[in-house]
Amino acid sequence: MSDDKLKNVISHAKEYGFVFQSSEIYDGLSAVYDYGQLGALLKNNIKEYWWKAMVQNHENIVGIDSAIFMHPTIWKASGHVDAFNDPLIDNKDSKKRYRADVLVEDYLEKIRQKIQKELTKAATRFGETFDAEMYLKTNGRVVGYQNQITEIEDKLRDYLENSKLKEFKELIEELGIACPISGSKNWTDVRQFNLMFSTEMGSVAEDSSKIYLRPETAQGIFVNFLNVMKSGRMKIPFGIAQIGKAFRNEIVARQFIFRMREFEQMEMQFFVKPGDELTWYENWKEKRIKWHKNLGFDEGAYRFHDHIKLAHYANAACDIEFDFPMGFKELEGIHSRTDFDLKAHEKFSGKKLQYFDPEDNKNYVPYVVETSIGLDRMFLAVLSQSFKEEKLEDGSERVVLNIPNFLAPIKLAVFPLVKKDGLPEKAREILKQLKFKFQCQYDEKDSIGKRYRRHDAIGTPFCITVDHQTLEDNMVTIRNRDTMQQERISIGDIEKIVSESVSWETVLANLDD
């Protein structure tokens, strides 16, 4: 995929009412976006897919909805006040700001691509006898690349963990990294920048106190651990899930809804017995990748990436990366966070956050395995994978969104063939019966062909057309988005055909263990 593809997806999203730049008539607000009439529907469906898969499918996971504003000490306890920083660097010529670690990561990705190229070349040269693993271990050039990657990764980890800003700049200079915009290597020093937004709470200045807009939803779960455990009579292992807004003053806010300053997260904290966490970590890795692959997109579009910077409190962490139009990037994080968060809140709040284990007859602070996915990134993943520009047999072209049917914003479009002869009335009658079952749309403008194209472009799986014959035999034409095939069916069968195809049931059942 390419930059062009991203551009096409962005303009498609705008043209059809999926995503708009925030405050556009005032020239926009950087890295803030609004979801339009179809975007809101698609986003809600993705949310529902996550919520049902997590909460409805698991009897030991419950969902909450905590407030965005929280006691400021929470962010001291979580480490965000002191350490939620990104190392930033400016290019003096382009005046563009970058995350120093991202510049180095991009450099590493280029080396990885070189390895990939060598592999592809060798595979063609050696044909069927090619042993990729052996090649990676023995080919001099590739081994050189690998060593280079390991060396840079080690430095990166050290500089990030120990805030070695001077060394960071030296590394960028040593690698000869240039600004992608100006091409120049004229960099400022690297500085730390806290990503939390703050505001004042209280009506008069003297009484007000500084509070933060939450940079993640997870802390709302930790501070409600006791409430939920007691009121829900939860037994370990159990999980608490939440979907909600989060805010980060991102340094580099480009790439559309991939990196926003206001975004939404879907997070789940799974509380386990100490010692069991790594088994659960593997278990959640498996479950989460299954959730993604269940959408039926290209399996090669996903990969796991182990963290090179393991936070001091984590004993395992990885990302699920997705092949976005701008390349493989983090879509979801899975982290084994030990008892760091609950212990920190015990310390700062003075309250015991422990579980009494009836089997062992003792109290302990549970360990936590977290799964954390950005809803907006998931939206971009679905939109960019579904977006296809197809050449048809008759030489014409169409843009189609092959959105998995159960996620499609509109499930069924109902058209009268013409705007007269009682056809609109008949079409509306059908709509009236079906609108309680699924999201439908009535459309009578333009030719049928144009209406099909419009609904292909927004991912509507089915269109039905009411014609003169319908008035006599109660049959309509149903047209399938993916196959473009048309079929004559009775009005009474529409509900069954569409329901079966857009049903949550099969999708959720596929996820069950």
Nearest residue (CB) to ligand ATP, 331 versus 382: 331
Instruction: Decide whether 247 or 387 has the Cβ nearer to ligand ATP.
Output: 247
> Taking phi first (over 0 means left), then psi (-120 to 50 degrees means alpha), and beta for anything else, what does residue 368 get?
beta
Angle at 12 between CA 8 and CA 18, to 5 degrees: 135
Nearer to ligand ATP, 1 or 252 (CB): 252
CB of 263 to ligand ATP, least distance (A): 4
Min CB(86)–ligand ATP separation in Å: 8
Residue number with CB closer to ligand ATP (248 or 426): 248
State in angstroms the smallest separation of the CB of 97 from ligand ATP: 15
CB of 156 to ligand ATP, least distance (A): 13
Cβ of residue 350: shortest distance to ligand ATP, in angstroms?
A: 28
Nearer to ligand ATP, 330 or 444 (CB): 330
Looking at the Cβ atoms of 90 and 370, the one nearer to ligand ATP is 370
Identity of the residue numbered 360:
D
Write down the residue that tokens 């060798």 correspond to. 122
Task: From 150, 152, 148, select the one nearest 167 (Cα to Cα).
Answer: 152
- Buried b or exposed e, range 406-435, using 16+ CB within 10 angstroms: bbbbbbbbbbbbeeeeebbebbeebbeebe
Measured from each CB, the residue nearest to ligand ATP is 374
Least CB distance to ligand ATP at residue 421 (A): 50
Residue with tokens 């088994």: 279
Rounded to the nearest whole angstrom, what is the least distance from the CB of residue 418 to ligand ATP in the complex? 46
Q: Would you tell me which residues interact with ligand ATP (CB under 6 A)? A: 216, 248, 250, 259-260, 263, 265, 330-333, 372-374, 376-377
The DSSP string of 69-97 is B--THHHHHTTHHHH-EEEEEEBTTT--E
Select 64 or 314, whichever has its Cβ closest to ligand ATP: 314
Q: Do residues 377 and 257 make contact, with C-beta atoms less than 8 angstroms apart?
A: yes
Closest approach, Cβ 24 to ligand ATP, in A, equals: 19
Beta carbon nearer to ligand ATP, 378 or 400:
378
Say which residues have a Cβ less than 8 Å from residue 23's Cβ, sequence separation at least 6. 29, 32
Beta bridge mates, 88: 99, 191
Strands 238-247 and 262-272 come out as: antiparallel
- Locus of tokens 């983090």: 330
Distance, in Å, from the CA atom of 376 to the CA atom of 361, rounded to the nearest integer, reads: 44
φ, ψ dihedrals at 261, nearest 5°: -90, -25
CB of 248 to ligand ATP, least distance (A): 5
The helix, strand and coil proportions of the chain, stated in percent and rounded to the nearest 5, come to: 45, 25, 30
CB of 337 to ligand ATP, least distance (A): 11
Contacts of 166 (CB under 8 A, 6+ apart): 189, 190
Q: Which is nearer to ligand ATP, 215 or 424 (CB)?
A: 215
Q: What is the dihedral of CA 215, 216, 221, 222, to 10 degrees?
A: -70
Comparing CB distances to ligand ATP, the nearer of 236 and 268 is: 268
Cβ proximity of 93 and 186 under 8 Å: yes
* The token pair that represents 258 in the structure block: 């991939």
**Min. distance of Cβ 305 from ligand ATP in angstroms?**
11
Closer CB to ligand ATP, residue 61 or residue 260?
260
The encoded tokens of residue 334 equal: 């899975």
- What residue type is 174 in one-letter code? E
Q: Which of 480, 239, 458 is nearest to 369 (CA)?
A: 239
Residue with tokens 């430095």: 155
